[in-house]
Amino acid sequence: MKLETRLEKVAGLLAERAAERGVPGASLAVMAGGEFFETATGVVNASTGVEATIDSVFQIGSITKTFTATQVMQLVDEGRVELDAPIWNYMPEFHVGDADATTSVTVRQLLTHTSGIDGDFFEDTGRGEDCVERYLVAMRAVPQLYPPGAMFSYCNAGFVVLGRLIEKMTAKTWDKALRDSVLAPIGTDKMGTQPEEAILHRAAVGHMPHPETKEPTVVPIWRLNPSNGPAGATPFATARDLLRFARMHLDGGVAAGGARVLSEASARAMRERQVELPETSMASAWGLGFMLFDWGTPVFGHDGGTIGQASFLRIVPEHDAAVSLLTNGGNAQALYRDVFDPVLGELAGISLPPLPEPDPDLALELERYTGRYERISSRTDVELIDGTLRFATRGLRGMMRAMPPQAGTLEPVNDRTFVARLDGDENGTPAAVVFLEPDDAGRPAYVLAGGRVNPRVR
């Protein structure tokens, strides 16, 4: 049966659920075997009313990290970089706040988010071709969350460091190296990194809820800082472009046109388990750049998020299938579940794992979880108020400081995992947070939220 017939209800489902979830526009692409299915709904810009189409480009956010990781593995294939060598060996100018970490953090640890570097460091170093190089200079004061290799914490900064490694090894800007070594060989026809490229296409803009009407409202910026490009701040693509990238990885590093982008060994290594994640976190495990999921059959991919845009990519090797979804606001996480569950069910017999549910009968000593948890970009206070565990988070610097504070409740799933529910967001998708490394009194040393480790400071 043709793929279009198998997915004949998906276009209507996407349109219906996007409207229900407050998503202004979305583009979906599905690949199975040699067939493709594409559909889009809504608008790319609520202010102009321009229609979203399958050719529309959206920001892909941190899905970019899988492209950057692919570039790094190309350097490994060439014998110019070793995964377990300290990054300092290749870039003596690399320094962070901790002297031991400066000389010991490895390339593998950067690829797997285990470096311990406090990763949400969104320093704006301008728009010039040296913006990534200048970012590294600014990293000298960035602190460590934990010793390198000790645990997992999602680290944007680490991928900017890898971007600079690529620049040094190729004598090109990261953007140029990306186009030459990955985008051109796999045949992406619209993917790029610069706004002057995006304006040539039907480009989506991000939306956030209006503070009073709650209607999707265009955000005042189109992209994040260029210095964070290798981590996902600038790239945009069509949903089909992401499937061209997936096709190359499914085919052992060979692009659809026959060009070899990666060795088969490196393509395979990128989706092999490197570090396990706590239960109910953003993935089951992490490879060399890829998120890994245990859904009855191996699945790999990545998610992305910028200001008002969100993206999702899932690849299922055993069924030669991949799905990508690009959105520009609203409850994108819920839309992802609405659409990917039936699509992957049809293609691979997969059901997405259920969201974590609190245990109303669980009796815990909630006081031990209270305290202040802080990293360079944000501070979270956890308090026990009238028998309910509550959290309040606010940004501390840069763009994080400009974001509105968040507050809500924490409901226990077990003695270390809680469901976080935002105040006034009854229709939002609840998120899981995990308290880690309890001391002898049972007081956790860290809380893992959004994949980031937040150390207790008091």
CATH number assigned to the domain comprising residue 176:
3.40.710.10
| DSSP one-letter string for 261-287 | -S-HHHHHHTTS--EE--TTSS-SEE-
Q: Are residues 401 and 427 in the same domain?
A: yes
CATH of the domain at 389: 2.40.128
Nearest to 412 by CA among 386, 393, 383, 435: 435
Residue that terminates a domain, selected from 353, 388, 418: 353
Q: pLDDT by residue (tens digit) across 230-255?
A: 999 999 999 999 999 999 999 999 99
Report how far residue 440's alpha carbon sits from residue 457's, in angstroms, rounded to the nearest whole number.
Answer: 17
Q: What pLDDT does 428 receive?
A: 74
Report how far residue 427's alpha carbon sits from residue 412's, in angstroms, rounded to the nearest whole number.
Answer: 20
247 vs 395 pLDDT, higher one? 247
Residues 307-330 have a mean pLDDT of 98
Q: What pLDDT does 254 receive?
A: 98
Q: Are residues 432 and 300 in the same domain?
A: no
Nearest to 100 by CA among 150, 66, 60, 58: 150
- The answer on pLDDT for 402 being more than 80 is no
Q: Are residues 254 and 138 in the same domain?
A: yes
Q: Are residues 21 and 58 in the same domain?
A: yes
Residue that terminates a domain, selected from 353, 386, 412: 353
**Has residue 266 been placed in a domain?**
yes
Residues in the chain: 458
Contact by Cβ (8 Å): 81, 90: yes
Q: Are residues 151 and 69 in the same domain?
A: yes
pLDDT bracket for residue 27 (50, 70, 90):
very high
**β-sheet bridge partners, residue 355:** none
Q: Are residues 342 and 381 in the same domain?
A: no
- Percent of the chain residues past pLDDT 70, beyond the cut: 100
**Has residue 234 been placed in a domain?**
yes
Q: Are residues 20 and 141 in the same domain?
A: yes
Contact by Cβ (8 Å): 167, 132: yes
- The answer on pLDDT for 172 being more than 90 is yes
Q: Are residues 325 and 372 in the same domain?
A: no
Report how far residue 272's alpha carbon sits from residue 111's, in angstroms, rounded to the nearest whole number.
Answer: 12
Q: What pLDDT does 366 receive?
A: 96
Looking at 62, 153, 181, 284, which residue is catalytic?
Answer: 62
Report how far residue 302's alpha carbon sits from residue 314's, in angstroms, rounded to the nearest whole number.
Answer: 7
**Has residue 359 been placed in a domain?**
no
Q: Residues 133, 134, 140, 146: is their CA dihedral positive or negative?
A: negative
Residue that terminates a domain, selected from 318, 353, 388: 353
Q: pLDDT by residue (tens digit) across 292-306?
A: 999 999 999 999 999
Residues 297-320 have a mean pLDDT of 97
Helix (H, G, I), strand (E, B) or coil at 325: strand
**Has residue 358 been placed in a domain?**
no
Report how far residue 21's alpha carbon sits from residue 43's, in angstroms, rounded to the nearest whole number.
Answer: 14
Q: Give the range of the structural domain holding residue 443, as residue numbers without chain letter.
A: 366-455
Q: What pLDDT does 137 receive?
A: 95
Query: What ranges make up the beta strands (E) of 295-387?
Result: 298-306, 309-316, 321-327, 371-374, 378-385
- The answer on pLDDT for 403 being more than 80 is no
Radius of gyration of the chain (CA): 21
Q: Are residues 379 and 421 in the same domain?
A: yes
Instruction: Please say if 153 is a catalytic residue.
Output: no
Nearest to 137 by CA among 125, 149, 146, 147: 125
Buried b (16+ CB within 10 A) or exposed e, 279-294: ebbbbbbbbbbbbbbe
Q: What pLDDT does 334 receive?
A: 96
Question: What is the number of other CB atoms lying within 10 angstroms of the CB of residue 311?
Answer: 30
Which helix H or strand E contains 291, and what residues bound it? strand 291-294
Q: What pLDDT does 398 receive?
A: 73
Contact by Cβ (8 Å): 43, 25: yes
Residues 367-386 have a mean pLDDT of 96
Q: Are residues 176 and 286 in the same domain?
A: yes
Give the lowest-confidence range in 82-91, 170-179, 311-320, 354-363.
354-363
Q: What pLDDT does 211 receive?
A: 82
Helix (H, G, I), strand (E, B) or coil at 171: coil
Report how far residue 399's alpha carbon sits from residue 397's, in angstroms, rounded to the nearest whole number.
Answer: 6
Q: What pLDDT does 280 receive?
A: 77
pLDDT bracket for residue 400 (50, 70, 90):
confident
- The answer on pLDDT for 341 being more than 90 is yes
pLDDT bracket for residue 260 (50, 70, 90):
very high
237 vs 402 pLDDT, higher one? 237
What total of structural domains would you count in the chain? 2
Residues 253-278 have a mean pLDDT of 97
- The answer on pLDDT for 426 being more than 80 is no
Report how far residue 11's alpha carbon sits from residue 54's, in angstroms, rounded to the nearest whole number.
Answer: 12
Show Cβ contacts of residue 258 under 8 Å, excluding neighbours closer than 6 positions.
Answer: none
Strand 431-438 and strand 25-32: the pairing is unpaired
**Has residue 8 been placed in a domain?**
yes
pTM across the whole model: 0.97
Give the lowest-confidence range in 113-117, 211-215, 319-323.
211-215
Q: What pLDDT does 212 receive?
A: 83
Average pLDDT of every residue of the chain: 95
Q: What pLDDT does 176 receive?
A: 98
63 vs 427 pLDDT, higher one? 63
Q: Are residues 241 and 320 in the same domain?
A: yes
Q: Give Cα separations from 397 to 119, 204, 385, 450 (angstroms).
A: 13, 27, 28, 18
Report how far residue 171's alpha carbon sits from residue 178's, in angstroms, rounded to the nearest whole number.
Answer: 12
Report how far residue 198's alpha carbon sits from residue 58's, in angstroms, rounded to the nearest whole number.
Answer: 9
**Has residue 225 been placed in a domain?**
yes
Q: Are residues 329 and 416 in the same domain?
A: no
**Has residue 433 been placed in a domain?**
yes
- Percent of the chain residues past pLDDT 90, beyond the cut: 91
- The answer on pLDDT for 199 being more than 80 is yes
Helix (H, G, I), strand (E, B) or coil at 170: helix
